[in-house]
């Protein structure tokens, strides 16, 4: 589950991380809640909002009225805008990037810092890897402040800025662990001309399978008015939702339809987005986006597999998940194999890749081996699994950026 920006910032403020003064509005107001100029930010669970017109500046009251009315009546990245975060405009001197993600191969969280904030960190890591600094840290002890200072000092940051930034990075790591996050990112962290350091934007993604431990966040996820897509579900998507409702066990059927030839059964925290993006990056054409996890029944996995393969043009499927402890690999394997067999296809020719490391892994791999299905263990990254899947369809671009 991806939190909205203002929801993420509420968590930051509780931890003592400074953020701009702001207020959330959900209706067109005649005047801004504080003196202009101010920044208007559409509250939708998507990135790159500024490029899509979801972050704008209002220089006076007239602009505030016009731009809030325009934003609340439109969509940003496919989502209808129900709420706007109105924030004070900050006079920025310098911007930095910091984030925490989970390394599925090393099986530990990793802290990331760059002295260049405000841009796509993945693009920066590809084009200028020397400007991105990383460090793994212990789940038990968290990121200690001296460890945070070591990462940031490698970027050439010193003095008071080093102390302020390392404190924020250590607190961000605590937020990541305490909230069962899959991604915790502040981009940018800004040093203002007044000398303060604060988080201008924040992204928090919480593992869906851990929401039961966070009742406040879980309550937000069930709010039907929180976010609203700008498009109606297709009949293919409606059928997938019916499959998800076959029984109460796990998730298997949250699906968005695309026009491609590779069916996707993906999930595990934020891994579904990671896998989908990787397939696109290597030149693949996904037939769908999907979320699966929480140990769905064999029945649900089987029916979802059949449903995806029933879509015209789908040649193969890729099954890719994060390392999970609450989803049995053997049950996933049984469901996928049964679904393929019931469509009259051969599993060995239909599964482009199967990468589901976790509980009952050996048993699951035995089932796949019996049907000649190639599988990946946890030493193969999600990115590499996606590359292999695309390659099986003859569309791989190994050097594609």
Residue 399 binned pLDDT confidence (cut-offs 50, 70, 90): very low
Cis peptide leading into residue 188 (ω within 30°): yes
For the chain, the average pLDDT equals: 90
CA pair distance 280, 272, nearest whole angstrom: 12
**pLDDT in the model for residue 398:** 45
**What would the pLDDT profile of 77-107 be if each residue is shown by its tens digit?**
888 899 999 999 999 999 999 999 988 777 8
Judge whether residue 220 has pLDDT over 70: yes
**pLDDT in the model for residue 65:** 93
Residue 366 binned pLDDT confidence (cut-offs 50, 70, 90): very high
**pLDDT in the model for residue 249:** 85
Please say whether the structural domain 92-220 has been given the CATH code 3.60.21.10.
no
Give me Rg for the CA atoms of the chain: 22
Q: Which of the pair, 109 or 229, is modelled with greater confidence?
A: 109
**What would the pLDDT profile of 245-294 be if each residue is shown by its tens digit?**
888 888 887 788 999 999 999 986 567 888 998 999 999 999 999 888 88
Share of the chain above pLDDT 90, in %: 66
**pLDDT in the model for residue 158:** 92
**What would the pLDDT profile of 41-61 be if each residue is shown by its tens digit?**
999 988 888 888 999 999 999
**What would the pLDDT profile of 292-303 be if each residue is shown by its tens digit?**
888 899 999 999
Domain boundaries, the chain: 21-88, 92-220, 232-392
Please say whether the structural domain 21-88 has been given the CATH code 3.90.226.10.
no
DSSP string for residues in 40-74: EEE--S-S-TTTTT-EEEE-SHHHHHHHHHHHHTS
Judge whether residue 224 has pLDDT over 80: no
Judge whether residue 167 has pLDDT over 90: yes
**pLDDT in the model for residue 225:** 72
pTM of model > 0.75: no
Judge whether residue 16 has pLDDT over 60: yes
**What would the pLDDT profile of 99-140 be if each residue is shown by its tens digit?**
999 887 778 899 999 998 887 777 777 788 888 999 999 999
CA pair distance 215, 324, nearest whole angstrom: 21
In Å, how far are 102, 286, 312, 330 from 389, measured between CA atoms? 23, 11, 19, 21
**pLDDT in the model for residue 269:** 59
Q: What is the third-level CATH fold of 232-392?
A: Rossmann fold (3.40.50)
**pLDDT in the model for residue 200:** 97
Judge whether residue 400 has pLDDT over 50: no
CA pair distance 372, 237, nearest whole angstrom: 30
**pLDDT in the model for residue 125:** 76
> How many separate helices (H) and strands (E) can be counted in the chain?
13, 20
**pLDDT in the model for residue 324:** 72
**pLDDT in the model for residue 119:** 73
**What would the pLDDT profile of 21-36 be if each residue is shown by its tens digit?**
999 999 888 888 888 9
Strand order in the sheet with 38-42: 22-25, 84-88, 38-42, 55-58
**What would the pLDDT profile of 305-360 be if each residue is shown by its tens digit?**
999 999 999 999 999 998 876 789 999 999 999 999 999 999 999 999 999 998 89
Pairing of strands 316-321, 262-267: parallel
Q: Which two tokens stand for residue 396?
A: 């791989």
């Amino acid at each position: 589950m991806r939190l909205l920006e203002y929801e993420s910032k509420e968590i930051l403020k509780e931890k003592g991380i400074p953020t701009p003064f702001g207020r959330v509005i959900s209706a067109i107001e005649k005047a801004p809640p504080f003196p202009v100029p101010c920044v208007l930010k559409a509250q939708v669970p998507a990135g790159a909002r500024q490029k899509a017109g979801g972050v704008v500046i209002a220089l006076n009251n007239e602009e505030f009225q016009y731009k809030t009315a325009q934003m609340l009546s439109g969509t940003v990245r496919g989502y209808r805008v129900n709420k706007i975060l109105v924030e004070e405009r900050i006079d920025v001197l310098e911007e930095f990037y910091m984030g925490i993600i989970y390394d599925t191969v090393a099986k530990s969280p990793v802290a990331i810092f760059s002295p260049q904030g405000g841009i796509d960190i993945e693009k920066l890591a590809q084009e200028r890897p020397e400007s991105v600094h990383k460090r793994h840290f212990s789940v038990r002890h968290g990121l200690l402040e001296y460890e945070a200072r070591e990462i940031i000092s490698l970027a050439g940051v010193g003095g008071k800025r080093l102390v302020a930034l390392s404190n924020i990075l250590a607190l961000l790591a605590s937020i990541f662990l305490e909230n069962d996050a899959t991604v915790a990112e502040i981009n940018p962290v800004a040093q203002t001309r007044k000398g303060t350091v604060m988080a201008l934007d924040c992204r928090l993604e919480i593992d869906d399978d851990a929401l039961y431990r966070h009742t406040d966040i879980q309550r937000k996820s069930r709010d039907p008015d929180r976010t609203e897509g700008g498009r109606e579900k297709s009949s293919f998507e409606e059928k997938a939702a019916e499959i998800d409702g076959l029984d109460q066990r796990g998730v298997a059927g949250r699906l968005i339809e695309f026009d491609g030839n590779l069916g996707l059964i993906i999930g595990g925290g934020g891994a579904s987005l990671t896998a989908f993006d990787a397939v696109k990056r290597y030149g693949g054409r996904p037939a769908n986006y999907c979320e699966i996890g929480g140990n769905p029944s064999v029945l649900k996995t089987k029916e979802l597999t059949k449903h995806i393969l029933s879509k015209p043009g789908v040649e193969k499927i890729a099954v890719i998940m994060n390392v999970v402890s609450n989803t049995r690999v053997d049950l996933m394997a049984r469901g996928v194999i049964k679904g393929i067999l019931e469509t009259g296809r051969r599993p060995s020719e239909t599964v482009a890749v199967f990468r589901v490391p976790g509980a009952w892994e050996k048993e699951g791999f035995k089932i796949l081996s019996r049907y000649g299905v190639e599988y990946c263990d946890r030493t193969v990254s999600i990115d590499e699994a996606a590359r292999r899947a695309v390659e099986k369809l003859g569309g791989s671009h190994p050097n594609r950026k």
